């Protein structure tokens, strides 16, 4: 038996040694060699990761598999990784504006050009995506076979049509293709008849092929900024569909990334879609180019949107407008024929903004008082008191840790009628952004009795918070203590 165990142990050791000896194709970089390594490569892919990140751990074997396959590409495509959570590595990670993990960047020309990687996260997808990225930004279409191989009928595709591949317009086009190659697929041709849609042209033309609306649209201004703006606008459907179809995700993301005001209509696709679809599309066409983008969403898929707006599915069919000034407008139980008139009222400035608020609490007798948006003005700004207001999120661990400390602070001021300790759930109540800048949780503001508003950024201890309140509080104008002091002054 002992002999068998010795053999087994030896076998396992051999396996481990073999595994340790396997070549790793992903380069591991740190602050000491990142800059020099990048400078040596015309094209290198760099993953910024953290060892504790679950998504990074899931990506790791796929990234390694892709690196192994791409190592035999001609020329080899190098994949590297960089632990951005390591203290010594953070300075360089900051230069690349890393906000989360994993983040993958494509670096060209020795790091002079940096692009976000927007491709798949599994090995085959990574390989296919990067092979396209390392080739020319705009390959030439010389035959119908080339067009069929390059153009995906289900995606946006941009083709530059030129009588000859030279001149200023062609060079501007190549500049644009290089700039946007990580987001859009490009190609060029001298013969428009090779393309699946659109007729022949006799002058330089930018043709955008798309799987929705009019299926293709031509453009003739070859200034780089003008072409980029055209592609951004033409790549969004007249009405973006938001449902459970993953093919629509790309367009939904573009819709929300856009700078226009946003109109969102939610209906039950199973029973109400046909009644609303054509009417809503007509309205969207009417306002095209006037600063409003349109989305038609399925109530079933819009659970997150309803939660964000503080609405309930039974309010559908409903339409919401998100203005560029952060104001929101809402009409629930809307009829198809009423949408056009309601949009006109919005454009004419006749609608009253919708403000999300939790219901006013029936009882509010805990030491830390509950404020909602509908009571914010009375309980904080018009109260005449010194108010410490916490903005929190129910899921926030730091908020949960702060809660018992705020309770102790509130108890210590219970007998003081001039001080109020309060909290507001910032996930369920809209905030006046001109007064409160809440970028994370918890965030605390102090409003003195005289109206001075300041953000608290001290230690989150009972002693520090009480000391801050005592130092910054004012005597309420109408309080009994103020009247008593005034009377003493007169004597």
Residues identified as active-site: 53, 56, 396, 399
Among residues 339, 346, 304, 301, the alpha carbon closest in space to that of 323 is found at 346
Alpha helices in 144-188 (DSSP H): 144-150, 168-180
Alpha helices in 323-396 (DSSP H): 339-347, 373-376
DSSP 121-156: SSHHHHHHHHHHHHS-SS-B--SHHHHHHH--TTS-
Place of tokens 């020099």: 36
Q: Which two tokens stand for residue 83?
A: 């632990």
Q: Is 196 exposed, middle or buried (0-12, 13-18, 19+ CB in 10 A)?
A: middle
Among residues 391, 404, 383, 406, the alpha carbon closest in space to that of 468 is found at 406
Displacement of CA 345 from its chain's centroid (Å): 30
Place of tokens 């955008």: 208
Distance CA 487, CA 105 (A): 70
Distance CA 412, CA 444 (A): 18
Q: Angle 332-335-338 (CA atoms, 0-180°, nearest 5)?
A: 100
DSSP 405-446: HHHHHHHHTTT-TTEEEEEEETTTS---TTT----SSSEEEE
CA atoms within 13 A on the CB side of 380: 27
Among residues 299, 272, 310, 274, the alpha carbon closest in space to that of 425 is found at 310
Q: For residues 111 and 43, is the Cβ–Cβ distance under 8 A?
A: no
Torsion of CA 249, 255, 256, 262, to 10 degrees: -140
Displacement of CA 460 from its chain's centroid (Å): 30
Phi (first) and psi of residue 355, to 5 degrees: -120, 125
Displacement of CA 428 from its chain's centroid (Å): 19
Phi (first) and psi of residue 283, to 5 degrees: -65, -40
DSSP letter, residue 314: G
- The CA–CA distances, whole Å, from 284 to 104, 220, 264, 296 equal 36, 25, 11, 10
Among residues 314, 213, 310, 329, the alpha carbon closest in space to that of 266 is found at 314
């Amino acid at each position: 038996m002992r002999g068998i165990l010795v053999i087994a142990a030896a076998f396992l050791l051999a396996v481990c040694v073999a595994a340790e000896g396997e070549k790793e194709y992903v380069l591991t970089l740190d602050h000491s060699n990142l800059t020099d390594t990048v400078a040596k490569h015309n094209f290198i892919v760099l993953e910024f990761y953290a060892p504790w990140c679950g998504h990074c751990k899931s990506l790791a074997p796929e990234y390694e598999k892709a690196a192994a396959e791409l190592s035999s590409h001609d020329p080899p495509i190098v994949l590297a990784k960089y632990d951005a959570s390591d203290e010594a590595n953070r300075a360089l990670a900051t230069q690349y504006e890393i906000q989360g993990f994993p983040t993958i960047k494509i670096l060209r020309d020795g790091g002079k050009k940096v692009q976000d990687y927007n491709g798949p996260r599994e090995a085959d997808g990574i390989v296919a995506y990067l092979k396209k990225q390392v080739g020319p930004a705009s390959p030439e279409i010389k035959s119908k076979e080339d067009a069929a191989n390059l153009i995906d009928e289900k995606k946006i595709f941009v083709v530059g049509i030129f009588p000859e591949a030279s001149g200023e317009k062609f060079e501007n086009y190549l500049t644009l293709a290089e700039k946007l190659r990580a987001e859009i697929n490009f190609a060029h041709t001298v013969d428009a008849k090779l393309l699946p849609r659109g007729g022949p042209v006799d002058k330089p033309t930018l043709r955008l092929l798309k799987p929705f609306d009019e299926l293709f649209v031509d453009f003739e201004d070859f200034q780089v900024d003008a072409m980029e703006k055209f592609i951004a606008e033409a790549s969004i459907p007249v009405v973006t569909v938001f449902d459970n179809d993953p093919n629509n995700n790309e367009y939904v993301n573009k819709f929300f990334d856009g700078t226009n005001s946003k109109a969102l209509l939610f209906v039950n696709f199973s029973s109400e879609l046909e009644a609303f679809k054509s009417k809503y599309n007509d309205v969207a066409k009417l306002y095209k180019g006037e600063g409003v983008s349109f989305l038609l969403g399925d109530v079933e898929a819009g659970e997150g949107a309803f939660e964000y707006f503080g609405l309930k599915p039974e309010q559908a069919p409903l339409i919401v407008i998100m203005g560029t000034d952060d104001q929101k407008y809402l009409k629930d139980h809307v009829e198809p024929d009423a949408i056009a008139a309601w949009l006109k009222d919005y454009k004419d400035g006749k609608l009253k903004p919708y403000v999300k608020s939790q219901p006013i609490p029936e009882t509010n007798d805990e030491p830390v008082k509950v404020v909602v948006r509908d009571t914010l003005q009375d309980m904080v700004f018009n109260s005449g008191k010194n108010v410490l207001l916490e903005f929190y999120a129910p899921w926030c661990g730091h908020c949960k840790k702060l809660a018992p400390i705020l309770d102790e602070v509130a108890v210590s001021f219970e007998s003081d009628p001039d001080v109020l300790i309060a909290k507001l759930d910032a996930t369920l109540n809209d905030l006046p952004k001109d007064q409160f800048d809440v970028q994370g949780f918890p965030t605390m503001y102090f409003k003195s009795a005289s109206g001075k508003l300041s953000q608290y950024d001290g230690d989150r201890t009972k002693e520090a918070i009480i000391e801050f309140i005592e130092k910054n509080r004012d005597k309420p104008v109408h309080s009994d203590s103020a009247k008593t002091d005034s009377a003493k002054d007169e004597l």
